[in-house]
């Protein structure tokens, strides 16, 4: 360029702007560089003295740029183009320096922290060595490895465990993954990969004796258990069915299962499945989750530490499914002999062999168990006990056990049969014997206080705190409340004290300790004192129950109101019952002619008391009709009669389930007559004959017969032929 050209160009405003931008960027680059190299200050001077275009050339020449870029730079003869290209290059250089700097800063920070830690740790180790202290963490890992070696893992799992152990070794105990990795290895080491309890030669006679010793009655159930054991004896690896005890609470399901374990000389573990909705409860969480755990089965096996226990899957009917998966399908895999050889717990992440475990399940009801699961199991039903059976169980099993648990013996407390009968009648109304046992425990507690107190005044020295009589009195006074826990006294009182005479429970003591009677036979009579109430029999997970049905009418528009937490089926039964009664109004003498609407300007309300308990099922059909007929005819239903049965729209009575439990429930309530569908006749063989003989069983085919039995003076039918 000639000088004039140059001078001209310098006047160009575009060029001026470009030079300014270039200088600013260059300045920035220099100041960044300045922090690193002091020599840069010379370049700064250059910036002020040398003309811009030359400066651009100097800068660009000092960068490492590609050949193409160098070429394009040389190629740009025009000052402006060259300047803008140079600015771009300077800026790029500046940015790359800045980014690089940021990264180094970060890395340096981390490095120095870990280096510091490492250094401190080295020092700590040196100090410990100097002091003669062992390094706990290191030792722990060695101990863990030793435990893992003796765990008897299969070869492939051992390899996997080794890999995990190597990882653990590389970690510092403070590192985030350390404890979870450790817990995992502990689990691997604790699991019973090979450990089994020695199975001794099964002595069937001894097993039978032990079953008989621990359980009263239940002949059929015990027989089935013996059969099961016999098959196992002949073919130990037979894939027998999984036994499932179904029955109300407190009928001995758990204790039968533990008897099986005892007979087989195996350990017993109970896995409670009640309320399990998450598949992870069965299968565990994957270890990627924070706070992940193995499933209940693997956890249970870790606790019993043998791979062949008897495992009780308790309340298998209470598992539900929701968005978190379906526990039932996981259980399906557990119970399938084809699949459970390689059970995969998500947490464990290596297969575990469950095929040696003997599974036994319990359930209150069969119906909620998913059919595929039910298919894997053999159901053994345990219906409730009769009062006579309860009495025998109490005398033979419960009282001795309760006395022992409280450190008493019959030398201190005697509960006569008549009193046990009273407890059964007045204080419990259950299918099983759990509340009975609790009530007996209450008596034992009260007696224990008295015995301790007497002995205290008689013989004890100062070293034992005196228990004042007010304690007992206040305990007796508040009565009623029956607590669940049994606190063993730790030692036998009889060894310590000499009791002058045993305490014999009488009615007064019953009332003092247990409070006023909770149930009496007059309840049904009180409740059916007005028209519109009928007595039904239902089946719940607690066994059979008496269910009253109340109906009432009021001014309205002909609507039907239903309350008492009813399911769809029972609601439809109510509709059906109302339709049937309306259709037969004239025949039933409820209205003078058949064209009169029974619901004319009135609403009907039907309620099932115990409003908080959900109810469903079709078996309330006949009870609903009876209640409505009673309401419209303004006649009371017989208080000594209870009924059950599904009804069709045409008035046929269909058979229902749970007949034995229902009859027993009626008996508990002191009901003398029970109306049952004729086709349930076969189920009556299950009902103990002493109960049947004290009751009148009325078998019916049609609803008219039900009505005939339910009212004092028979069915109010006008003409049978029409129906």
**Contact 493/412 with Cβ under 8 angstroms?**
yes
Q: Provide the minimum distance between the beta carbon of 425 and ligand ADP in the complex, in angstroms, as a whole number.
A: 18
Residue 254 annotated as part of some ligand binding site: yes
Residue 222 annotated as part of some ligand binding site: no
Buried b (16+ CB within 10 A) or exposed e, 78-110: ebbebbbbbbebbbebbeeeeeeeeeeeeeeee
CA nearest to 187, candidates 285, 278, 273, 274? 285
Q: Which one, 217 or 284, has the nearer CB to ligand ADP?
A: 217
By CB under 6 A, name the one of 254, 344, 349, 409 that touches ligand ADP: 254
**Contact 544/570 with Cβ under 8 angstroms?**
no
Q: Which of residues 341-380 bind ligand ADP (CB under 6 A)?
A: 362
Q: Which long-range contacts (CB under 8 A, 24 or more apart) does 160-165 make?
A: 160/350, 161/185, 161/188, 161/189, 164/188, 165/141
249 near ligand ADP, rule: CB under 6 A:
yes
Residue 247 annotated as part of some ligand binding site: yes
Q: Which one, 217 or 651, has the nearer CB to ligand ADP?
A: 217
Widest CA span in the chain: 137
Number of residues this chain uses to bind ligand ADP (CB under 6 A):
17
Interface with ligand ADP by CB under 6 A: which range of 205-213, 429-437, 518-526, 679-687? 429-437
Binding mask 201-220 for ligand ADP (x = CB under 6 A): --------------xxxx--
- In angstroms, how far is the first alpha carbon of the chain from the final one? 125
CA 414 to chain centroid, in Å, comes to 40
Q: Provide the minimum distance between the beta carbon of 312 and ligand ADP in the complex, in angstroms, as a whole number.
A: 9
Beta pairing class for 543-555 and 602-607:
antiparallel
Residue 253 annotated as part of some ligand binding site: yes
Q: Provide the minimum distance between the beta carbon of 405 and ligand ADP in the complex, in angstroms, as a whole number.
A: 10
Q: Which residue is nearest to ligand ADP (CB)?
A: 252
Buried b (16+ CB within 10 A) or exposed e, 295-317: bbbbbbbbebebbbbbbbbbbbb
Q: DSSP letters of 206-243?
A: HHHHHHHHH--S-HHHHHHHHHHHHHHHH-TT--PPEE
Residue 248 annotated as part of some ligand binding site: yes
Q: Provide the minimum distance between the beta carbon of 500 and ligand ADP in the complex, in angstroms, as a whole number.
A: 32
By CB under 6 A, name the one of 434, 475, 512, 527 that touches ligand ADP: 434
Q: Which one, 430 or 705, has the nearer CB to ligand ADP?
A: 430
Q: Which one, 440 or 622, has the nearer CB to ligand ADP?
A: 440
- Which residues are annotated as catalytic? 619, 662
Q: Provide the minimum distance between the beta carbon of 630 and ligand ADP in the complex, in angstroms, as a whole number.
A: 37
Q: DSSP letters of 313-332?
A: EETGGG---BTTB-HHHHHH
Interface with ligand ADP by CB under 6 A: which range of 65-73, 127-135, 249-257, 406-414? 249-257
CA nearest to 322, candidates 363, 351, 280, 358? 280
Binding mask 383-422 for ligand ADP (x = CB under 6 A): ----------x---x-------------------------
Q: Which one, 214 or 326, has the nearer CB to ligand ADP?
A: 214
CA 157 to chain centroid, in Å, comes to 31
Coil vs helix vs strand at 434: helix
How far apart CA 519 and CA 468 sit, in angstroms, is: 33
Residue 250 annotated as part of some ligand binding site: yes
Q: Provide the minimum distance between the beta carbon of 398 and ligand ADP in the complex, in angstroms, as a whole number.
A: 7
Residue 251 annotated as part of some ligand binding site: yes
By CB under 6 A, name the one of 192, 250, 295, 677 that touches ligand ADP: 250
Beta pairing class for 533-540 and 543-555:
antiparallel
Q: Which one, 224 or 605, has the nearer CB to ligand ADP?
A: 224
Q: Which one, 189 or 398, has the nearer CB to ligand ADP?
A: 398
Beta bridge partners of 637: 711
Interface with ligand ADP by CB under 6 A: which range of 17-25, 174-182, 244-252, 293-301? 244-252
Q: Provide the minimum distance between the beta carbon of 388 and ligand ADP in the complex, in angstroms, as a whole number.
A: 12
Coil vs helix vs strand at 550: strand
- Token pair of 464, please? 């034992």
By CB under 6 A, name the one of 255, 305, 634, 685 that touches ligand ADP: 255
Coil vs helix vs strand at 549: strand
By CB under 6 A, name the one of 243, 297, 419, 433 that touches ligand ADP: 433
Q: Provide the minimum distance between the beta carbon of 385 and ligand ADP in the complex, in angstroms, as a whole number.
A: 7
How far apart CA 13 and CA 108 sit, in angstroms, is: 46
Q: Which long-range contacts (CB under 8 A, 24 or more apart) does 464-473 make?
A: 472/446
Q: Which one, 254 or 355, has the nearer CB to ligand ADP?
A: 254
Phi then psi for 653, rounded to 5 degrees? -105, 120
Residue 77 annotated as part of some ligand binding site: no
Q: Which residues are annotated as a binding site for ATP?
A: 247-254
Catalog residues that contact ligand ADP under the rule CB under 6 A. Answer: 215-218, 249-255, 362, 393, 397, 433-434, 437
């Amino acid at each position: 360029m000639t000088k004039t050209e140059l001078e001209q160009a310098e006047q160009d405003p575009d060029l001026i702007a470009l030079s300014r931008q270039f200088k600013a960027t260059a300045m920035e680059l220099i100041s960044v560089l300045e922090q690193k190299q002091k020599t840069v200050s010379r370049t700064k001077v250059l910036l002020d003295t040398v003309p811009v275009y030359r400066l651009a050339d100097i800068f660009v020449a000092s960068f490492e740029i590609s050949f193409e870029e160098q070429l394009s730079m040389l190629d740009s003869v025009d000052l402006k183009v060259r300047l803008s290209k140079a600015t771009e290059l300077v800026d790029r250089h500046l940015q790359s320096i800045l980014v690089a700097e940021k990264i180094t800063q970060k890395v340096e920070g981390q490095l120095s922290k870990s280096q510091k830690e490492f250094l401190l740790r080295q020092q700590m180790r040196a100090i410990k060595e100097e002091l003669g202290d062992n390094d706990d963490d290191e030792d722990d890992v060695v101990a863990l490895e030793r435990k893992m070696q003796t765990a008897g893992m299969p070869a492939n799992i051992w390899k996997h465990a080794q890999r995990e152990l190597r990882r653990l070794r590389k970690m510092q105990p403070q590192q985030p993954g350390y404890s979870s990795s450790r817990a995992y290895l502990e689990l691997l080491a604790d699991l019973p990969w090979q450990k089994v309890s020695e199975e001794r030669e099964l002595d069937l006679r001894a097993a039978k004796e032990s079953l008989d010793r621990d359980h009263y009655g239940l002949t059929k159930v015990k027989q089935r258990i013996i059969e099961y054991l016999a098959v196992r004896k002949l073919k130990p690896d037979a894939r027998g069915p999984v036994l499932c005890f179904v029955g109300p609470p407190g009928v001995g399901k758990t204790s039968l299962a533990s008897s099986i374990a005892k007979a087989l000389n195996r350990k017993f573990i109970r896995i409670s499945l009640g309320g399990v909705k998450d598949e992870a409860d069965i299968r565990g969480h994957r270890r990627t989750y924070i706070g992940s755990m193995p499933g209940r089965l693997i956890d249970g096996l870790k606790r019993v530490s043998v791979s062949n226990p008897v495992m009780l899957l308790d309340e298998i009917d209470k598992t539900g499914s929701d968005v978190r998966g379906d526990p039932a399908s996981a259980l399906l895999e557990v119970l399938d002999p084809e699949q459970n050889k390689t059970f995969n717990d998500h947490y464990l992440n290596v297969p575990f062999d469950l095929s040696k475990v003997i599974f036994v399940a319990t359930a209150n009801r069969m119906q909620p168990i998913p059919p595929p699961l039910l298919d894997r199991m053999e159901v053994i039903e345990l219906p409730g006990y009769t009062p006579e059976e309860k009495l025998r169980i109490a005398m033979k099993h419960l009282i001795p056990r309760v006395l022992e648990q409280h450190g008493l013996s019959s030398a201190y407390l005697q509960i006569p049969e008549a009193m046990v009968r009273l407890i059964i009648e007045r204080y419990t109304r259950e299918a099983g014997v759990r509340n009975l046992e609790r009530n007996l425990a209450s008596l034992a507690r009260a007696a224990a206080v008295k015995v301790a107190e007497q002995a205290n005044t008689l013989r004890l020295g100062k070293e034992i705190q005196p228990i004042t009589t007010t304690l007992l009195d206040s305990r007796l006074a508040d009565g009623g409340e029956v607590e669940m826990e049994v606190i063993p006294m730790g030692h036998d009182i009889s060894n310590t004290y000499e009791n002058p005479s045993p305490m014999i429970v009488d009615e007064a003591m019953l009332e003092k300790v247990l409070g006023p009677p909770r149930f009496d036979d007059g309840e049904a009579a009180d409740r059916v004192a007005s028209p519109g109430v009928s007595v039904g029999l239902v089946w719940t997970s607690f066994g059979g129950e008496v269910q009253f049905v109340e109906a009432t009418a009021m001014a309205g528009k002909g609507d039907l109101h239903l309350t008492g937490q009813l399911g769809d089926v029972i609601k439809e039964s109510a509709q059906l019952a109302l339709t049937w009664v309306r259709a037969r109004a004239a025949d039933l003498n409820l209205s003078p002619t058949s064209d009169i609407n029974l619901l004319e300007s009135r609403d009907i309300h039907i309620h099932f008391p115990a409003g908080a308990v959900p109810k469903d099922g079709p078996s309330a059909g006949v009870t609903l009709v009876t209640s409505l007929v009673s309401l419209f005819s303004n006649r009371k239903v017989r208080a000594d009669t209870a009924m059950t049965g599904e009804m069709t729209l045409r008035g046929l009575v269909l058979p229902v389930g749970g007949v034995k439990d229902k009859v027993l429930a009626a008996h508990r309530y002191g009901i003398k007559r029970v109306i049952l569908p004729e086709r349930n006749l076969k189920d009556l063989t299950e009902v103990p004959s002493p109960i049947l003989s004290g009751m009148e069983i009325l078998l019916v085919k049609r609803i008219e017969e039900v009505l005939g039995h339910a009212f004092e003076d028979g069915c109010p039918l006008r003409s049978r032929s029409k129906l």
